[in-house]
Amino acid sequence: MARVLVIDDSKFSRGMTSRILREAGHEVLEACDGERGLEAVREHNPDCVVLDLLMPVLDGPGFLGRVRGEGSDLPVVVASADIQASSRRMCEELGISGFVNKPVRADELCPCVERAIRGPSTGEDQ
């Protein structure tokens, strides 16, 4: 399957998300904040990132801004308990591929990650 980087400052949430993705057959890398996440992106070239929004050091929006500022179109799925419309809109403006609510559930996370990896549908496969 794919190499997925999980960026979340909560060890519990990061572990739960990683376990779901491993059980789905993905190779999983982990980072505890956005700064370490950027290092992992550069070093390991993941196929997708699952990103928390509220973190110390470099938060989710900061991570997205830096990744996009470097010209990357890396698929990013946000996993957050922050369900405010303004937060979601800001992430969409930064080019996220999907959004799932925390606590993450396999039946929501896995299809969202798979869609993100496949990329936008061009209509040719219909």
How many folded domains does the chain comprise? 1
Residue 124 pLDDT class (50, 70, 90 cuts): very low
Domain region containing 50? 3-118
Nearest CA to 10 out of 40, 50, 45 is that of 50
Q: Does 25 reside within a domain?
A: yes
Lowest model confidence (mean pLDDT) among 14-28, 89-103, 110-124 = 110-124
- Higher-confidence residue of 86 and 63: namely 63
Checking if the pLDDT of 44 tops 90, the result is: yes
Q: Does 28 reside within a domain?
A: yes
- Residues 84-100, mean pLDDT to the nearest whole number: 89
Q: Does 20 reside within a domain?
A: yes
CATH code of the domain in which 25 resides: 3.40.50.2300
Q: Does 124 reside within a domain?
A: no
User: What are the structure tokens assigned to 118, written together?
Assistant: 């496949």
Sort strands 27-31 and 3-7 into parallel, antiparallel or unpaired.
parallel
Nearest CA to 27 out of 1, 48, 49 is that of 1
Sort strands 27-31 and 48-51 into parallel, antiparallel or unpaired.
unpaired
pLDDT the model gives residue 90: 86
pLDDT the model gives residue 73: 93
Residue keyed to tokens 């989710």: 60
pTM of the model: 0.93
User: What are the structure tokens assigned to 25, written together?
Assistant: 């057959």
- Residues 22-51, mean pLDDT to the nearest whole number: 97
- Residues 31-41, mean pLDDT to the nearest whole number: 97
Q: Does 103 reside within a domain?
A: yes
Residue keyed to tokens 């997925």: 4
Q: Does 126 reside within a domain?
A: no
Please report the sign of the dihedral spanned by the C-alpha atoms of residue 57, residue 102, residue 38, residue 63: negative
Q: Does 19 reside within a domain?
A: yes
Q: Does 36 reside within a domain?
A: yes
